[in-house]
Amino acid sequence: MAKTTSWEIVMGLEVHVELATKTKIFCSCTTEFGGAPNTHCCPICTGMPGVLPSLNKAVVEYATKAGLALNCEITRYNKFDRKNYFYPDLPKAYQISQLYLPICRNGGIEIEAENGGKKVIGIHEIHMEEDAGKLVHDPWTDSTMVDYNRCGVPLIEIVSEPDFRSANEVIRYLEKLKAILQFIGVSDCKMQEGSLRADINLSVRPVGSEKFGTRTEMKNMNSFKAIARAINGESKRQIEVLEDGGEVKQETRRWDDNKDASFAMRSKEDAQDYKYFPEPDLIPIEISDETIEQTRNSLPELPEAKRQRYVSELGLSEYDASQLTTSKYLVALFEQNLEAGYPAKELANWIMGEVMRLLSDSGREPEDMTFDYSYLGLLIGMVQKNEITRNTAKKVFKAVFEEGCDPVRYVEEHNLKTVTDTGAVKAAIQEVVAANQKSVDEYKSGKEKALQYLIGQSMRALRGKADPQTVTAILKEILG
């Protein structure tokens, strides 16, 4: 192949989301994460002889909700099928899924495109299926140990159209998807716990080409950052292969984030043919127009509508509004305090500033915030009432964020209230002035910098508890 100067990446996503139902999809075992091995199991989810699946109503409701929130058509008459393959994490040796008539089809969500405009990512279909068990390597016996706790936890698989052209688009889509699913309460979307997992189908083609290249499927990415790295790594690899005159092989690859490279998964030694056929143990699902309307009406305000409202009604900036609405938890933090009467802009500033910084520093997600959301309002209130300085408030918030401390009590216990007694402030400043004659002289000879130094020393003496403007005014007054 002739060397082409520029390549286009084409991607489609298959996102598996564990639904937040109380019980598994086909039995009444709990879906709770974790648990000692094989404790959330029964004859049904471990595929014992003679058992039958019994469909959980909530799974259909949640999948319908997800479909509507993602602008899909709901398949009025949908069915389950069996996908047959042997693997130790799949006790029946078939996964009950939906191939022929998935519950949702033809949806899509809007994301920001690379050029700053809007772009719709199409959703081909959403189907319901069951999760598999967990395999653990046992180094002592060089064997694999199988835990079926996760077996039968309900999943929806959201299959996108091949509409992505960059890693950024993929991340924006995933962020948006995650936010929507969290908002409507169908999943907690915790990537670390595997309740949101994305597989990426990626191919490259010369810019301008209409034909899709051969794609690979990448699995095993457990964070947005890993996904971005995997996309960059795999697209580079494919381009290199093609530019060297080679051919991309259609295969499944495993992303190894530590090695920053993807590896072909050993192709199953044997024939792979899923032999799909209609699941005879389950009967079809009919969803009426009425149910669809009811479900649609029960949906909470979705992130996109919230974003628009934050801008038009609350006067937030586009950027702040869109960042805030990426997470149900950030929105809850914002709206709960807004309702308590704290100003929108101040709240947005705090969330966009301190909250985001602390999250990013600690590598945590908004859902990991454990403090009482009302504490942010209390803190803002104290600043508004000049009980503490803005700087003090930031320090206190760190304790709130990290340890869940009650800010009012924390301020009291640590004696952080702003010194409002001007006499005490004056006395402290006078001491600083007396001890720093050199700087006083410099200031008097016209060096502005010296004043800054004296302010700093005074604030330090006051342990930050005074209002800097007051300190400056008093200092200037003393210095004449």
**43 contributes a contact to another protein by CB under 8 A:** yes
Contacts of 53 (CB under 8 A, 6+ apart): 25, 26, 27, 44, 96, 279, 281, 282
Tokens 């000049």 locate to 386
CB-based contacts of 2, cutoff 8 Å, min separation 6: none
Q: What CA–CA distance (Å, rounded) separates 127 from 336?
A: 34
CB of 232 to another protein, least distance (A): 23
Residue 39 Cβ, how far from another protein at the closest point, in Å?
5
In the complex with another protein, which residue's Cβ is closer, 251 or 387? Answer: 251
Position 267 contacts another protein (CB under 8 A):
no
Q: Interior CA angle at 146 toward 140 and 149, to 5°?
A: 135
Q: Is 427 in the site for another protein (CB under 8 A)?
A: no
84: contact with another protein by CB under 8 A: yes
Tell which phi-psi region holds residue 464, choosing left (phi > 0), alpha (psi between -120 and 50) or beta: left
Distance CA 170, CA 121 (A): 10
Asked if 51 interacts with another protein (CB under 8 A), we say: yes
Tell me how far apart the alpha carbons of residues 272 and 97 are, in angstroms, rounded to a whole number: 17
Least separation in angstroms between residue 62's CB and another protein is: 9
Closest by CA position to 159, among listed 107, 101, 229:
107
Asked if 39 is part of the footprint of another protein (rule: CB under 8 A), the reply reads yes
- Is 265 a residue that touches another protein (CB under 8 A)? yes
Could you tell me the smallest distance in angstroms from the CB atom of residue 264 to another protein?
A: 10
Rounded Cα distance between 250 and 165, Å, is 19
Out of 207, 243, 284, 421, which residue is the one contacting another protein (CB under 8 A)? 284
Q: Is 186 in the site for another protein (CB under 8 A)?
A: no
According to CB under 8 A, which residues from 330 to 359 bind another protein?
none
Asked if 333 and 351 touch (Cβ cutoff 8 Å), the reply is yes
Name the one residue in this structure whose structure tokens are 């039958």.
Answer: 52
CB 24 to another protein: min, Å: 9
- Residue 399 near another protein by CB under 8 A: no
Nearer to another protein, 135 or 435 (CB): 135
The reply to whether 79 sits near another protein by the rule CB under 8 A is: yes
Report if residue 58 touches another protein, rule: CB under 8 A. yes
Q: What backbone phi and psi angles, to 5 degrees, belong to 30?
A: -70, 155
- State the Cα–Cα distance between residues 388 and 461, nearest whole angstrom: 16
CA atoms within 13 A on the CB side of 330: 27
Closest contact distance (angstroms) between CB of 17 and another protein is 17
Tell me: does residue 180 bind another protein (CB under 8 A). Answer: no
- Which residues does residue 112 pair with via DSSP β-bridges, in sequence order? 118
Q: Is 283 in the site for another protein (CB under 8 A)?
A: yes
| Residue 270 binding another protein, by CB under 8 A | yes
- Using rule CB under 8 A, residue 40 touches another protein: yes
Smallest Cα–Cα separation from 330: which of 361, 304, 298, 368? 368
By CB under 8 A, what part of segment 93-112 binds another protein? 93-94
Q: Which helix (H) or strand (E) holds 200?
A: strand 196-206
Name which position in 115, 275, 297, 446 contacts another protein (CB under 8 A).
275
Q: Is 41 in the site for another protein (CB under 8 A)?
A: yes
**Shortest CB 409 distance to another protein, Å:** 38
How many residues contact another protein, by CB under 8 A? 70
Nearer to another protein among residue 79 and residue 417 (C-beta):
79
Q: Least separation, in Å, of the C-beta of 261 and another protein?
A: 14
Residue 404 backbone class (left: φ over 0; alpha: ψ -120 to 50; beta: rest):
left
E-strand ranges in 75-142 read 77-78, 81-84, 94-97, 104-112, 118-130, 134-138
Among 4, 54, 308, 436, binds another protein (CB under 8 A): 54
d(CA 223, CA 218): 13
Look up residue 452 and give its two tokens: 């800054």
Q: Is position 42 an interface residue for another protein (rule: CB under 8 A)?
A: yes
Q: Is 307 in the site for another protein (CB under 8 A)?
A: no
Asked if 374 is part of the footprint of another protein (rule: CB under 8 A), the reply reads no
Residue from the set 8, 14, 16, 55 that interacts with another protein by CB under 8 A: 55
In the range 130-159, which residues lie near another protein by CB under 8 A?
135-138, 141-148
Angle (CA) 359-371-34 rounded to 5° is 80
Question: Token digits for 160?
Answer: 């996108």
Q: Interface with another protein by CB under 8 A: which residues?
A: 21-23, 28-30, 36-43, 46-60, 77, 79, 82, 84, 86-88, 91-94, 135-138, 141-148, 254, 265-266, 269-271, 273, 275-278, 280-286
